[in-house]
């Protein structure tokens, strides 16, 4: 699997989706990479403008590149929600595999103009970089919100999607299909799930004719996610669920040994906590059953996992 475009095409052909997980430190990156390695599936690491600011644009690019090279593993890096051309170019120059150019807060015509310009500029730096554009409103902030916003009235229409892709020439489209960034407290407790408009996803996929990304996937109904993949979603973003697991794991690690000051003795608890989420999501997106304890089942699962990596 040479590049992200290749991985996306293969995902589409085999009816699975790439998991996209945001990272802002080494705990999250270790959890994401080790889950993908365990399951032998390609994975997309995401870093938003804020996350890049914290880690360093070239530094996160170097980390992900080192994993890809040392383990000869399909791990890719995406510059998530990039609002300015300057930041998009900075990521492309650092070697990111894709950029989400997000001008969705602007009026539609202006979003088209700016995204089209970004596609041209980014491809001139790296012709094989993938550029994703975004239309519609799916809220901002992958965090816990007081109230869940009702975004069902802002769904992307198939004709908007078609026009946007044709005029901007983006490689990937992020529509609003019932998804939203962040989670409500009820979602964190598992009492409520986001629901997706599956029919709308299928209509948009047919009209746009490019792979689709589902943003704000945290707290979404599992059945809806599976149906969304079948309807045309090829990348699913999970961030808030990871952040919740990161905090809980960190707190548990600190509480377990109140006098411990050695980071690498505390942080593995946080890695393990995040890994529970990334493993569960990657299994769902790649149709990998959770292995049963029996020896026979383990062997069958290993065989399937080996098949999953070309």
Contact range with Zn ion by CB under 5 A, out of 53-61, 214-222, 228-236, 294-302: 214-222
Name the β-bridge partners of 21. Answer: 45, 238
Contact range with Zn ion by CB under 5 A, out of 29-37, 55-63, 192-200, 207-215: 207-215
Query: Nearest distance from residue 291's CB to Zn ion, in Å?
Result: 31
Residue 113 has which token pair? 């103009």
Residue 183 contacts residue 240 (beta carbons within 8 Å):
yes
Query: Nearest distance from residue 142's CB to Zn ion, in Å?
Result: 7
Question: How far, in Å, are 251, 260, 264, 269, 296 from residue 254 at the CA level?
Answer: 5, 8, 12, 9, 38
Residue 91 has which token pair? 């990521």
Contact range with Zn ion by CB under 5 A, out of 61-69, 145-153, 208-216, 278-286: 208-216
**Residue with smaller CB distance to Zn ion, 104 or 288:** 104
The crossing angle, in degrees rounded to 10, of helices 158-168 and 198-208 is: 30
Q: Which of 145, 215, 275, 281 binds Zn ion (CB under 5 A)?
A: 215
Query: Nearest distance from residue 227's CB to Zn ion, in Å?
Result: 20
Beta strands in the chain (DSSP E): 18-22, 43-47, 75-82, 98-101, 130-134, 144-145, 172-174, 183-184, 212-214, 233-238
- What does the alpha-carbon distance between residue 14 and residue 274 come to, in Å, rounded to a whole number? 27
Query: Nearest distance from residue 22's CB to Zn ion, in Å?
Result: 8
Contact range with Zn ion by CB under 5 A, out of 69-77, 91-99, 204-212, 215-223: 215-223
Q: Cβ-closest residue to Zn ion?
A: 215
Query: Nearest distance from residue 62's CB to Zn ion, in Å?
Result: 24
Residue 40 in contact with Zn ion, rule: CB under 5 A: no
# residues contacting Zn ion (CB under 5 A)? 1
**Residue with smaller CB distance to Zn ion, 234 or 253:** 234
Residues designated as active site: 80
Q: 68: part of which helix (H) or strand (E)?
A: helix 57-71
Question: How far, in Å, are 159, 174, 251 from residue 109 at the CA level?
Answer: 14, 17, 46
Query: Nearest distance from residue 211's CB to Zn ion, in Å?
Result: 15
Residue 48 has which token pair? 């938003």
**Residue with smaller CB distance to Zn ion, 194 or 215:** 215
- What does the alpha-carbon distance between residue 80 and residue 75 come to, in Å, rounded to a whole number? 15
The crossing angle, in degrees rounded to 10, of helices 263-285 and 240-256 is: 150
User: CB burial class (10 A; 0-12, 13-18, 19+) of residue 162?
Assistant: middle
Q: Which residues bind Zn ion (CB under 5 A)?
A: 215
């Amino acid at each position: 699997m040479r590049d992200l475009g290749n991985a996306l095409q293969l995902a589409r052909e085999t009816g699975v989706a790439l998991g996209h997980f945001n990272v802002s430190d080494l705990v999250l990156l270790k959890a994401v990479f080790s889950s993908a390695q365990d399951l032998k599936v390609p994975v997309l690491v995401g870093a938003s403008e804020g996350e890049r600011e914290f880690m360093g644009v070239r530094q996160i690019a170097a980390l992900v590149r080192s994993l890809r090279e040392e383990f000869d593993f399909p791990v890719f890096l995406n510059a998530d929600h990039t609002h300015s051309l300057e930041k998009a170019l900075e990521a492309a120059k650092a070697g990111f595999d894709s950029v989400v150019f997000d001008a969705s807060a602007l009026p539609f015509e202006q979003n088209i103009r700016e995204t089209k310009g970004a596609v041209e500029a980014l491809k001139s730096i790296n012709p094989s970089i993938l550029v994703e554009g975004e239309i519609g409103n799916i809220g901002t902030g992958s965090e816990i919100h007081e109230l869940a916003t009702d975004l069902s009235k802002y769904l992307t229409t198939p004709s908007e999607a078609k026009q946007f892709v044709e005029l901007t020439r983006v490689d990937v489209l992020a529509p609003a299909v019932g998804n939203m960034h962040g989670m409500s407290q009820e979602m964190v407790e598992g009492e409520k799930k986001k629901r997706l408009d599956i029919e709308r996803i299928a209509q948009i996929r047919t009209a746009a004719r490019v792979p689709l990304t589902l943003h704000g996937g945290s707290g979404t109904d599992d059945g809806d996610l599976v149906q969304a993949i079948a309807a045309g979603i090829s990348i699913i973003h999970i961030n808030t669920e990871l952040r919740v697991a990161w905090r809980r794991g960190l707190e548990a690690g600190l509480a377990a040994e109140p006098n411990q000051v050695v980071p690498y003795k505390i942080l593995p608890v946080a890695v393990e906590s995040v890994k529970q989420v990334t493993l569960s999501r990657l299994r769902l997106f790649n149709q990998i059953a959770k292995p049963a304890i029996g020896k026979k089942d383990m062997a069958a699962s290993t065989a399937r996992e080996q098949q999953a990596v070309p």
